Amino acid sequence: MTATARLHFADAGEAADLAAFLARLIHYDKAAAVRLQAAGDTLAVFGRPPSFEVLAIRTARLAEPYGHGLDAPLGTTPGTPLDVTVSAGEFLESVGESAQSETAAGIAAVPGAVTGPPWAGVLPPRGGWRQEPGLPAPDTVRELVRVAVGEFRSRVEQLPAERRVRAELDRVGREIWSRTIGETPLPVRAAHAAQALGFLRGDALTLLSSGAWLRLRTAYGSVAVRRAGAVGLPVTPA
């Protein structure tokens, strides 16, 4: 992959929304990497905010299929799908410029590839998703997150100063965030991550499953997590 590869977003708004997602990822990890996959007129961006132990997925509409015409990377043929792991910070710079530019609105350069973290090689499957029952209404899910955050803060504040160490905070966090939502196997940490990333808005909220994966999908993005006790690592082909 070369830095001359470019993405043509459907409009500047798509670029702005993607930039906001990338900024949130970087808030939790200054050295974050993202895996980009583009096929047809859709770009999928995968990231993993370390505080939540989930995989975040944000899609963006493209004005034209990636790889068509002069923007195909050197050595590829028109229509070649994009699949590369890049620095989230470098990609944010390019996408941010795209969202603000009046002369090149909606066009962003793809940064050079980086050595991807382990999670980048283990993505949810592309297909085979089916809807799972038992997910409460969106307002109820948001309230569950609010209550869980309040409980975490309260319990941490009640700890003696000498016990406010990382191991103890992680223990409290695991107990709270591993609880499941409603009549589903979805852990609260998935909804917490969706809220922190700006996904948990509006009234569209769906729980999907495919193999060992659960996926909380909203109109603004998705959060995927492997089921508790799942065996094996289903890997999306690179």
Say if residue 97's pLDDT is above 90: no
Residue 86: inside a domain? yes
Given its phi and psi angles, is residue 83 left (phi above 0), alpha (psi -120 to 50 degrees) or beta?
beta
Lowest mean pLDDT among 56-60, 127-131, 164-168, 232-236: 232-236
Q: Which of 61, 85, 115 is the last residue of a domain?
A: 115
69 pLDDT more than 60? no
CATH (domain of 77): 3.10.150
DSSP state of 69: G
**pTM, whole model, 2 decimals?**
0.86
Which pLDDT tens digit goes with each residue over 8-37?
Answer: 899 888 999 999 999 999 999 999 999 999
Place 237 in a pLDDT band, splitting at 50, 70 and 90.
Answer: very low
Q: Are residues 171 and 84 part of one domain?
A: no
Residues 154 and 26: their CA atoms lie apart, in Å, by: 27
**Same structural domain, 156 and 62:** no
> Is residue 222 situated within a structural domain?
no
Asked whether residue 35 falls in the same domain as residue 101, the answer is: yes
Query: How many residues are present in the chain?
Result: 238
Q: Are residues 70 and 134 in the same domain?
A: no
Query: According to the model, what pLDDT value does residue 70 have?
Result: 40
Q: Per the structure, how many domains does the chain have?
A: 2
Greater pLDDT, 52 or 140: 140
- The yes-or-no verdict on residue 235 having pLDDT over 70 is no
Domain finish residue from 60, 87, 115 = 115
Q: What's the confidence (pLDDT) of residue 134?
A: 95
Q: Are residues 44 and 105 in the same domain?
A: yes
Give the domain extent around 44: 6-115
Decide which of 190 and 232 is more confident.
190
Q: Are residues 138 and 78 in the same domain?
A: no
Same domain, 73 and 106: yes
Same domain for 67 and 139: no
Per the domain annotation, does 82 fall within a domain? yes
pLDDT, position 137: 96
Q: Does residue 123 form part of some domain?
A: no
The answer to whether residue 103 sits within a structural domain is yes
Asked if the structure places residue 36 within a domain, the reply is: yes
CA angle 8, 14, 15 (to 5 degrees): 70
Are 110 and 134 in the same domain? no
Cα–Cα distance, 35 to 11 (Å, whole number): 22
Q: Is residue 120 part of a domain?
A: no
Specify the higher pLDDT residue, 12 or 117. Answer: 117
Average pLDDT of the chain, as a whole number: 87
Edge-to-edge strands, sheet with 213-218: 82-87, 33-39, 42-47, 55-61, 221-226, 213-218, 205-210, 130-131
- 100 and 28 in a common domain: yes
Same domain for 33 and 74, yes or no, is yes
Q: Is residue 125 part of a domain?
A: no
**Are both 110 and 10 inside the same structural domain?**
yes
- How confident is the model over 165-197, as pLDDT tens digits? 999 999 999 999 999 999 999 999 999 999 999
